[in-house]
Amino acid sequence: MATDWAAAHDVRLSLEVTDEQRSAAVAFYAATGWRHTHTSEATWTAPDGGAVHLRHYAR
């Protein structure tokens, strides 16, 4: 598993997911030890041209 390898090699993992408070991904990352560090605006837009916000996680 990537998280085991990272821990053994002192590597910090990070990821970004779209900011949907009720998404299954957000619940999964919270339940598996990922820590939400901040939210930012993506450099790309949604199909309707609107802003996309990203939740950043670290482990």
Considering the entire predicted model, what is its pTM?
0.72
Per-residue model confidence (pLDDT) at position 47:
92
Distance CA 50, CA 32 (A): 30
Per-residue model confidence (pLDDT) at position 48:
94
Over residues 10-29, the pLDDT tens digits come to: 888 777 877 776 778 888 88
| Residue range of the domain that includes 17 | 12-58
Residue 47 lies in a domain: yes
Residue 7 lies in a domain: no
Residue 6 lies in a domain: no
Distance CA 42, CA 40 (A): 6
Residue 46 lies in a domain: yes
Residue 58 sits at φ, ψ, to 5 deg, of -130, 155
Per-residue model confidence (pLDDT) at position 21:
65
Could you tell me which residues come within 8 angstroms of residue 18 by beta carbon, excluding any fewer than 6 positions away? Answer: 52, 53, 54, 55
More confident residue, 39 or 18: 39
Contact between 17 and 23 (Cβ < 8 Å): yes
Question: How many folded domains does the chain comprise?
Answer: 1
- The single-letter code of the amino acid at 6 is A
